[in-house]
C-alpha cells in the first residue's frame, strides 16, 4: 500500500505555467519522474469558477463583473452529491456551492436557527448539516432541504464547541476550552461520554480544534497545542498518535483540519507550514505532503479545513490530466489569499511508465 509514496526533501510544486491561451501544465505531487499520486485541479473563489456566466446583455451593458457571492474565510468543508458546503468565518454563514446549477447560495438561517459564529461542519450522507456554533455554544442541525431542525447544547453543556462529527446514533463535539470530546446521544442530546482532559499525556488534549470519525467508528482528534493528532477506538480508548512538535516533515507547527480516507490515509493540514501531510493510518508514517506557501497554483495561504469527497469527481474530471485517473477529491480551504478553495484529485497515473520509476504498468 505504501510503495507508491516517496517522502521528498525538495519542493513538490510545479510552478511552470503555459503561455496565454494554452492549457496550464499539470501540477502533480510528487513531481515526475516519480509516479504522481495527487494532482492539483482548480481553485474556486466565486461562482464564475464553477461555470456561472453573466448574460450577454449584462456583459454588454456593464462588462464582466465579479460575482457578489464569494467565499470569504472557509473554516470547514463538507459535501454530498452535487453540493459542497463551506462554513465561512467572514460572513458567518454556511455557503452552498451547487455544482449542478453552477451557483452559490447560503443556508437561510433565521429565528431559532440563526447562525452566530460557525466553525466546524459535518454533512451526513443524507444531507443533514451539523454546524458547531461557537457564539451560541451549540450544535445546529439543518435538514436536506436546508431548514433548521434542532439545536444541541443546553445548560453550559459546551463552552467553545469548535467542531462536530456524527457516527450512527452519536454526536462528537470538540470543545476547545474544555479540552475534551463530548459525546452526545443523537436522540436525547444528553452527554453519554467524555473523551480526554487537559494535559500532554496520551489521551489528553490542549486546545483541540477538529474531530473526525471514520467508517469503523475510529475517532481522530487534532490536538493542536500538543502538536499531534490522536486516534481513539469507538469506546474512546487511546490507540496512537501522529506527529510531534517540530519544523521538519512529519512534525507539526500549527495543525488544524484533518480527514481520513477509506484507504487508510490520514490527511492533516498545517497552517504554519501551509501544506497538507498524508500519514499512513496503520504505521503513522509520513507518506507524502503537498501544497506550500506561494502564488503558484496548488499553493496554500493559511489553510484550515480539509475534506475528502468521493461523490463529485465528475464535476472536476475536465481538469484532470489525460494520463491521470482521479479516484477521489481533496478540498482544502485557504483563510487568506485569492484562491479560497483548492481542489486536488487523488488517483493513479495511467500513462506510459515514467523514466526511472521501474513502473511496468500503464498504457503502451
Q: What is the tens place of the pLDDT at every residue in 246-258?
A: 999 999 999 999 9
Is 100 within a domain?
no
Looking at the domain assignment, is residue 134 inside a domain? no
Separation between Cα atoms, residue 330 and residue 260, nearest integer Å: 11
Q: Is the pLDDT of residue 322 over 80?
A: yes
pLDDT (0 to 100) of residue 316: 98
Residue spans of beta strands (DSSP E) within 99-203: 103-106, 118-123, 129-133, 138-142, 148-152, 161-167, 170-175, 180-185, 191-195
pLDDT tens per residue, range 203-262: 999 999 999 999 999 999 999 999 999 999 999 999 999 999 999 999 999 999 999 999
State the alpha helices, DSSP H only, in 267-331: none
Domain membership flag for residue 310: yes
How would residue 26 be classed by pLDDT, with cut points 50, 70 and 90?
very high
Is it the case that residue 9 has pLDDT exceeding 50? no
Asked if residue 248 belongs to a domain, the reply is yes
Give the three cell numbers for residue 298. 496548488
Grid cell, residue 30, equals 510528487
- How confident is the model at residue 312, as a pLDDT? 98
**For the purposes of burial, counting CB atoms within 10 Å of the CB of 319, is it exposed (0-12), middle (13-18) or buried (19 or more)?**
middle
pTM (2 decimals)? Answer: 0.90
Strand, coil or helix: what is 6? Answer: coil
Q: Looking at 4-13, 145-154, 204-213, 257-266, which range is the least confident one?
A: 4-13
SS3 call for 82: coil
Residue 52 binned pLDDT confidence (cut-offs 50, 70, 90): confident
Examine the pLDDT at 42 and tell me if it is beyond 80: yes
**Domain presence at residue 343:** yes
Does residue 116 register a pLDDT over 80? yes
Residue predicted with more confidence, 352 or 47? 47
- Whether residue 36 is predicted with pLDDT greater than 60 in this model: the reply is yes
Range of 274's domain?
A: 1-23+243-321+332-364
- pLDDT over threshold 80, residue 178: yes
Domain count, the chain: 1
Q: Does residue 80 fall inside a structural domain?
A: no
Is the residue at 7 inside a domain? yes
Q: Residue 11 above 50 pLDDT? A: no
CA distance 105 to 93: 10
Domain for residue 354, yes or no?
yes
With the C-alpha atoms ordered 224, 226, 229, 234, is the resulting torsion angle positive or negative?
negative
For the segment 179-199, the average pLDDT, to the nearest whole number, is 98
Q: Residue 111: its pLDDT value, please?
A: 94
The residue written with cell numbers 452552498 in the block is 96
Q: What is the DSSP string of 245-273?
A: BSSSBTBBSSEEEEEE-TTSEEEEEETTT
Amino acid at each position: 500500500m505504501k510503495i507508491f509514496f516517496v517522502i521528498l526533501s525538495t519542493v513538490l510544486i510545479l510552478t511552470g505555467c503555459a503561455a496565454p491561451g494554452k492549457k496550464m501544465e499539470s501540477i502533480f505531487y510528487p513531481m515526475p519522474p516519480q509516479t504522481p499520486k495527487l494532482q492539483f485541479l482548480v481553485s474556486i473563489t466565486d461562482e464564475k469558477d464553477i461555470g456561472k456566466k453573466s448574460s450577454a446583455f449584462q456583459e454588454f451593458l456593464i462588462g464582466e463583473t465579479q460575482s457578489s457571492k464569494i467565499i470569504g474565510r472557509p473554516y470547514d468543508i463538507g459535501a454530498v452529491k452535487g453540493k459542497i458546503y463551506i462554513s465561512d468565518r467572514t460572513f458567518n454563514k454556511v455557503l452552498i456551492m451547487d455544482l449542478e446549477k453552477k451557483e452559490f447560495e447560503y443556508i437561510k438561517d433565521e429565528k431559532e436557527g440563526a447562525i452566530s459564529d460557525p466553525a466546524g461542519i459535518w454533512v451526513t450522507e443524507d444531507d443533514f448539516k451539523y454546524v458547531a456554533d461557537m457564539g451560541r455554544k451549540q450544535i445546529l442541525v439543518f435538514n436536506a432541504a436546508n431548514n433548521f431542525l434542532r439545536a444541541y447544547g443546553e445548560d453550559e453543556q459546551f463552552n467553545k464547541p469548535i467542531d462536530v462529527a456524527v457516527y450512527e446514533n452519536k454526536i462528537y463535539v470538540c470543545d476547545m476550552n474544555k479540552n475534551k470530546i463530548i459525546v452526545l446521544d443523537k436522540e436525547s442530546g444528553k452527554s453519554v461520554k467524555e473523551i480526554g482532559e487537559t494535559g500532554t499525556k496520551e489521551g489528553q488534549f490542549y486546545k483541540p480544534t477538529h474531530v473526525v470519525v471514520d467508517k469503523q467508528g475510529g475517532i481522530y482528534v487534532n490536538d493542536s497545542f500538543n502538536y499531534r493528532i490522536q486516534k481513539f477506538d469507538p469506546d474512546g480508548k487511546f490507540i496512537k498518535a501522529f506527529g510531534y512538535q517540530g519544523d521538519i516533515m512529519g512534525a507539526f507547527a500549527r495543525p488544524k483540519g484533518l480527514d481520513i480516507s477509506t484507504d487508510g490515509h490520514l490527511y492533516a493540514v498545517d497552517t504554519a507550514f501551509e501544506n497538507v501531510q498524508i500519514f499512513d493510518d496503520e504505521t503513522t508514517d509520513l507518506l507524502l505532503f503537498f501544497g506550500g506557501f506561494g502564488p503558484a497554483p496548488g499553493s496554500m495561504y493559511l489553510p484550515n479545513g480539509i475534506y475528502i469527497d468521493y461523490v463529485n469527481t465528475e464535476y472536476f474530471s475536465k481538469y484532470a490530466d489525460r494520463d491521470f485517473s482521479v479516484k477521489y477529491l481533496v478540498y482544502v480551504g485557504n483563510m487568506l489569499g485569492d484562491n479560497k478553495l483548492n481542489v486536488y484529485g487523488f488517483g493513479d497515473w495511467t500513462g506510459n511508465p515514467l523514466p526511472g520509476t521501474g513502473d511496468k504498468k500503464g498504457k503502451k
